[in-house]
Chains A and B, each alone.
Chain A
C-alpha cells in the first residue's frame, strides 16, 4: 500500500441519516473495530465486528443470505462503536442482526433458545426468587443444581449465582416512606434495574442517600429490566415489551421535571443509546435525552468533585475496573479521577481490558473459557494493584471480578455515600 492510501480522504462525505445503510456505506474498512474487539483477540473463530456489521449488511443487501450464527458470539460489549473513526453504528447492526438470527434461524424448541431466554429474563426469575430469598440462595448455591443447569441448560457450573437480598431495595424504599426530600426543582427518577433491587440494594440505597444529601427528591417508579440482556441474546420481543413499559413510565416523569439517573452503566447505555437506536415509542428520545449515570449527573450539576477532595470514606484501597459500557459513555476515567484526592485510600485503575463476562455472555457454558481468557488481563492487574477490594459500576463485571480474584466488589456510589453522607 502506498502512503497516499494510508491517508484515505473522503472529500465529500454523504449526509448522515438515521438509517443503517449510509452507516454501512461509510465503512472504509480500516479494521479499527476488529482490533478493539475483546472476543476476536482470544477466539479466531469469531469473524469480528467489521464482518458482523458493515460486511454482513452489504452481503445481505446484495443477496438473500441469512444472518451468520457467529453473531451469537458477539458479547455486545460495544467497544467497536468507540473505535470506529467513521461513525458506523456497529452495535446497532449487531443487535438487529442478532434479533433476526434468533427469530429466523434459532429453533424455539432448542435448549439454547430457552437457556438464552431464561438468562435474558433474569429479572422475572429474580422477582420470583426474591420472594423466598433464603430458599433460593440455598437452592441456587447447591452444586447439584449447578451441574443440572450446566448439563440441561448450558449455564456454566463454574459460576456462583448471585445471592438475593433478604429485603429488596424497593421494599426498603417503601418502608421508609419514599424520598425524605421534597423539591420542586431538584428531582430525579431512579432507574435501578433488577440487579440493584434484588441483589445489591446497598448500592441503590447509597444512590438515594447521596442524591438526598444534595437536596434531590428521588422517585422510584415501577420499572422493568432495561433490556440489556435481551438485546445481547437477540430476544427483541422481550426487549420491546420491557422498553415500552420503561419509556412510558419515565417519559411521564420527565414531563414532570424529573431527570433519570442510573447506577448501572449498562442500564444508562440502554436508555440513552440502544432505545433510540432500536425503538420509536412516543417519548423514547425525551427519555434518552434526560438519562444520566448517577455520578456523571452530580459532576455536571453539583460540585461533587470539590466535596470529595480530602473527604475520608470508610473504605480500604480499591482496584477499579471500567465497564465497557461506561467506556462508551465517556465515563471510564470518572471514578478514579473523582476519588484521586480522597483521604486515606488509593484507587487504582486495573487497565482498559474488558472483564470478559459481558452480562449473560460469560454465563453460557460454551463461552465460559473465552470469558475467563478475556478477563485474564484484568485479574492480573487486580493482583498487582495495592487494593484488595474491587470497584466497578456494572453488576456483571463485579461478578466476574469477584469470580476471578475472590475480592469483595463495591460500587462508586457506596464510596461517595461513605465520604459525604453521615
Chain B
C-alpha cells in the first residue's frame, strides 16, 4: 500500500515548493508529477509582480498588498510572498541573483524588450538594463530564436542608458540543427577547445563593449565556469539573454530544486498522472495514479493540488465549460463562452484568470463558497484570480502559495 503524510500532485515550481515546505515541517512527503517538470520550459526568471493595472512596477511589494479579493496574493498576504522568496533564495543559492533588493530588476529579453522581474539567474546579471556599460549582443545563425541585431535595435530604441550593438556569428563546430542541450554540452566539456574557438569568432566585434550577451546556452552543469572562461578570454563580462521554451536556465533551476527535494527526503515520482480520487465525509481518502493501465491508490492524510493552469493542463476547457480535471473542482467562469474573451487580441481576457477559488487556507471552494474537502489545498497556476502573463506574477504566486499550502498540510 502506498501512503504518505502529504501527497503533492504536480512537479512544477508550486508543487516543488509545497513538497519542500511540508518536508521541512517534518512530514513524510510524496510528490507525483505526470511529466518532467514544467520548469524546464520556463524562462528561469522569477517574477513576483511586474505590472499592476497595466503600469510597470519598480517595486513589486508596493502593490502586492493591494490585490483584489480572491487574488492568490490577497489570499495568503504579502508576508507569505516575502517568505516564499526567502525560501527560493535559499534553494537557488549562487545560481540566482536579485535578493539584495526588493525592487524589480530590468532584464533584456531575446526580443529586445526589458522585463521587470524579482529574481534572475546569476548568468543574466551582467546584462541588466540598469547598468550603463556598452553592450554587445551575439546571436548565432543556427539559433534563429534570437536575432541579436534586431534585439539590439529594439533595446536602443527603448531608450536604454547605454550603447548596444548586435552581431550574428557562426557558432564553431556544431551543425545547423544541433539542440540547445548540445551547445551547452560542448561548452561544459570544452570539447575540442570550443570556448577559445568561440572567443576568436567574437573578438573582432567586441569594440568598446564591456559586456557581451549570448543566447542562454552557456552550459548546463557548469554555467559559472563557462561564463568565467569566456569572460576572461574576452576581457568583458559575459551574460545570457533568457529565451525559450525550452530553456537551460529553467533546466538548471529544475536540477537544484529537485536535488534539494531529494535531500529533504521527498519521494518523487514522475511519469504517471493522477486521474481520480475517492472521498468520504468531506475528506479525500486517496487519489488514483494511472500507471500505464492500472489505477493505483495513493493514500495520504493531506493533499496539495499543484497541477498548473491552462498551459500545464491543471485547468481544462471544453465546450461544456471549464473544469479542474483531477478533483473535479468548481472553476468559476461565465456561462457563455463568448464572454471568456475580450474583442481585442491583447485585451483583459477573463479566461486568463480561470482557476479554482480558495479560502485563505488555500482550500478549494465549491459553487456556494463552501470548502470542498477539508484536507485538500491548491497552489500555483491552478489557482484562479490572477493573470500570470499580464501581471508577470507566475513564479511569485507559485512560491508564496506553494509554501503556505505545504506548511499548512504538514501542520494539519
Which A residues contact B (CB, under 8 angstroms)? 1-4, 6-9, 11-13, 30-32, 34-37, 40-45, 47-48, 51, 82-85, 272-273, 285, 288-289, 292, 296, 299-301, 303, 327-334, 337, 340, 349, 377
Contacts and interface: CB of A to CB of B under 8 A. Distances in A.
Interface in B261-277: 262, 265, 267-272
Contacts of A32: 36, 40-41, 245-246
Contacts of B179: 31, 34-35, 37, 40-41, 44, 48
A35 B271 contact: no
B271 A42 contact: no
B389 A329 contact: no
A11 B267 CA distance: 33
B111 A330 contact: no
A40 B271 contact: no
A334 B36 CA distance: 16
B100 interface: no
Contact of A332 (B43, B174, B270): B270
Interface residues of B, number: 54
B177 A47 contact: yes
Most buried by A among B43, B175, B245, B351: B245
Given A6-B43, A301-B1, 5 more contacts: A7-B389, A40-B181, A83-B40, A288-B293, A329-B291
A303 B1 CA distance: 6
24 contacts: A3-B389, A9-B311, A9-B351, A31-B246, A34-B180, A34-B246, A35-B179, A36-B36, A37-B181, A42-B182, A42-B185, A43-B182, A44-B175, A45-B175, A48-B177, A82-B36, A84-B35, A272-B293, A273-B292, A328-B271, A330-B269, A330-B291, A332-B269, A333-B267
Contact of B317 (A2, A11, A47): A11
Interface in B228-274: 243, 245-246, 251, 262, 265, 267-272
A31 B245 contact: yes
Given A9-B310, A82-B271, A35 B40 contact: yes
A148 B116 CA distance: 63
B291 A333 contact: no
A26 to B, nearest CB: 12
Contacts of A3: 115, 389, 392
B192 interface: no
Contact of B312 (A45, A85, A273, A300): A85
Contacts of A303: 1
A41 B182 contact: yes
Contacts of B317: 11-12
A331 B268 CA distance: 9
A8 B175 CA distance: 29
B66 interface: no
B110 interface: yes
Given A35-B181, A37-B179, A82-B35, A300 B1 contact: yes
Interface string B72-97: 00000000000000000000000000
Contacts of A40: 178-179, 181-182
Nearest to A51: B177
A329 B289 CA distance: 12
Contacts of A334: 269
